[in-house]
Structure 1
Amino acid sequence: MQRTALRRVAATAVTLVALGAGALATAGTASAAGKNGGLESGEFGLYYNSDQGGAVWDLFVEDPNFWGERFPGPGNGTYELVNDNTASYNNRDSNRWWVYTDAGAGGYEGSLPAGYIGNASATFKNQISSAYYYKGR
């Protein structure tokens, strides 16, 4: 009976270690996504040019302040500042994203539903300074 209990404890420990390693591997992959210049499923992309042209800045998580961030490329706008320098979007995330004309969810607020692809309106074109996958304010 004691042997059976030890086997169960050992089997449970092995299972927990395997699950923990799997969770870490998944977390590592997820945190590596975004801001790499390639718009992947589950990301929100802001483009340097209209009609999803030029370099893309892809977000996997919110960014409350674009100051100092640069388009990684490739394409027109590579290495240009992202802050107040985006003209179109592609929301490949399953969540709605909100964009703001000021850092910290300040200024004008725009809402982009999951799957949205389009150009920024006159209010937002080259004016966006923060973005959230939840309502920022």
Structure 2
Amino acid sequence: MQRTALRRIAATTVALAALGAGALATAGSASAATGKNGVLETGEFGLYYNSNQGGAVFDLFLSDANFINDYFAGPGNGAGQNVNDNTASYKNRDSNTWWVYTNADAGGIEGSIPAGYSGNASTTFKNEISSAYYYKAR
């Protein structure tokens, strides 16, 4: 009787360990957006150095209250340039509206870019954006 109980415990332990290992293996295969890597992925908001979504991109997955230490990444015109007050167009690949501001910390003039929308920055925002949020910050 004791041997049967020990065998059941051992079998259950092995089964649970295999199940846990399988869960860990599949958890690593899920893809998630990676902000600030120079690739505009699904779920991100991108600011471009040039008009018409051209040149290098600054891709955000999370809000950024101050672009002063951020740089355009990826290939294209503007790669390595500072993002602060240096963007000409945008694309929203997120399911949320993104809010941009002409000053850091949601200061200055506020604008919104709806989910799925892309375009060129208006004269008010061209080369003036300094912060962005995936929610209305004020």
TM-score (norm 1): 0.82
Distance 1:56 1:46 in 2: 6
Q: Rg: which structure is higher?
A: 2
1:17 Cα offset (Å): 3.5
Cα deviations across residues 62-84 of structure 1 (Å, max 9, x unaligned)?
A: 22211121112422222211001
Cα deviations across residues 93-116 of structure 1 (Å, max 9, x unaligned)?
A: 222211112222222222111110
Q: What secondary structure does 2:23 align onto?
A: helix
Distance 2:29 2:128 in 1: 35
Distance 2:109 2:29 in 1: 35
Q: What secondary structure does 2:69 align onto?
A: coil
Distance 2:29 2:123 in 1: 39
Q: How many residues align?
A: 134
Show the 5 A alignment for 1:77-88. 77-88=78-89
Counterpart check, 1:104 vs 2:108: no
Report runs of 4+ in structure 1 exceeding 4 Å deviation. none
TM-score (norm 2): 0.81
Distance 1:12 1:72 in 2: 44
What's the C-alpha RMSD, in Å, of the aligned pairs?
2.2
Counterpart check, 1:70 vs 2:96: no
What are structure 1's unaligned runs of at least 5 residues? none
Partner of residue 35, structure 1: 36
Q: Which amino acid aligns with 2:10?
A: L
